[in-house]
Amino acid sequence: MEETKKSLLDDSFTSAMTLTNSGVPQVPDRYVLPPAQRPALGSSIGTRDDTTLPVIDLSLLHQPLLRSRAIHEINMACKEFGFFQVINHGIPSSVVKDALDAATQFFDLPVEEKMLLVSSDVHQPVRYGTSINHSTDKVHYWRDFIKHYSHPLSKWIDMWPSNPPCYKDKVGKYAEATHLLHKQLLEAISESLGLEKNYLQEQTEEGSQVIAVNCYPACPEPEVTLGMPPHSDFGSLTILLQSSEGLQIMDANKNWVCVPYIEGALIVQLGDQVEVMSNGIYKSVIHRVTVNKHVNRLSFASLHSLPLHKKISPAPELLDGNNAAAYGEFSFNDFLNYISSNDDFLQERFIDTLKKSSS
What does DSSP say about strands 237-242 and 297-305: parallel, antiparallel, or unpaired? antiparallel
List binders of ligand OGA among 266-295 (CB under 6 A). Answer: 287, 289
Q: Which range, of 69-77, 116-124, 227-235, 323-331, touches Ni ion by CB under 5 A?
A: 227-235
Using alpha carbons, select from 181, 159, 124 the residue that is nearest to residue 8: 124
Question: Nearest approach, Cβ of 52 to ligand OGA (angstroms)?
Answer: 20
Question: Nearest approach, Cβ of 231 to ligand OGA (angstroms)?
Answer: 7
Alpha carbon of 309 to those of 85, 284, 337: distances in Å? 30, 21, 12
Question: Nearest approach, Cβ of 184 to ligand OGA (angstroms)?
Answer: 21
How far apart, in whole angstroms, are the C-alpha atoms of residue 331 and residue 313? 9
Residues 46, 139: contact at Cβ < 8 Å?
Answer: no
Nearer to ligand OGA by C-beta: 91 or 103? 103
List binders of Ni ion among 229-268 (CB under 5 A). Answer: 233
- Check residue 249 for interaction with ligand OGA (CB under 6 A): no
Q: Which range, of 80-88, 188-196, 226-234, 248-256, touches Ni ion by CB under 5 A?
A: 226-234
Which residues, 6 or more positions from 282, have their beta carbon under 8 angstroms from its beta carbon? Answer: 78, 79, 82, 189, 193, 270, 274, 275
Q: Estimate to the nearest angstrom the gap between the alpha carbon of 25 and the chain centroid.
A: 30
- Check residue 124 for interaction with ligand OGA (CB under 6 A): no
Using alpha carbons, select from 225, 228, 289 the residue that is nearest to residue 258: 289
Nearer to Ni ion by C-beta: 233 or 275? 233
Question: Nearest approach, Cβ of 117 to ligand OGA (angstroms)?
Answer: 17
The residue at minimum Cβ distance from Ni ion is 233
Q: Secondary structure of the chain: what % helix, strand, coil (to 5)? A: 35, 20, 45
Q: What angle do CA 49, 350, 77 make, to 5 degrees?
A: 35
How far apart, in whole angstroms, are the C-alpha atoms of residue 149 and residue 51? 34
Q: Which range, of 63-71, 90-98, 152-160, 242-250, touches ligand OGA by CB under 6 A?
A: 242-250
- Check residue 275 for interaction with Ni ion (CB under 5 A): no
Among 61, 224, 228, 312, binds ligand OGA (CB under 6 A): 228
Among 119, 214, 296, 302, binds ligand OGA (CB under 6 A): 214
How far apart, in whole angstroms, are the C-alpha atoms of residue 189 and residue 123? 29
**Interface contacts to ligand OGA, rule CB under 6 A:** 212, 214, 228, 233, 240, 242, 246-247, 287, 289, 299, 301
List residues binding Ni ion (CB under 5 A).
233
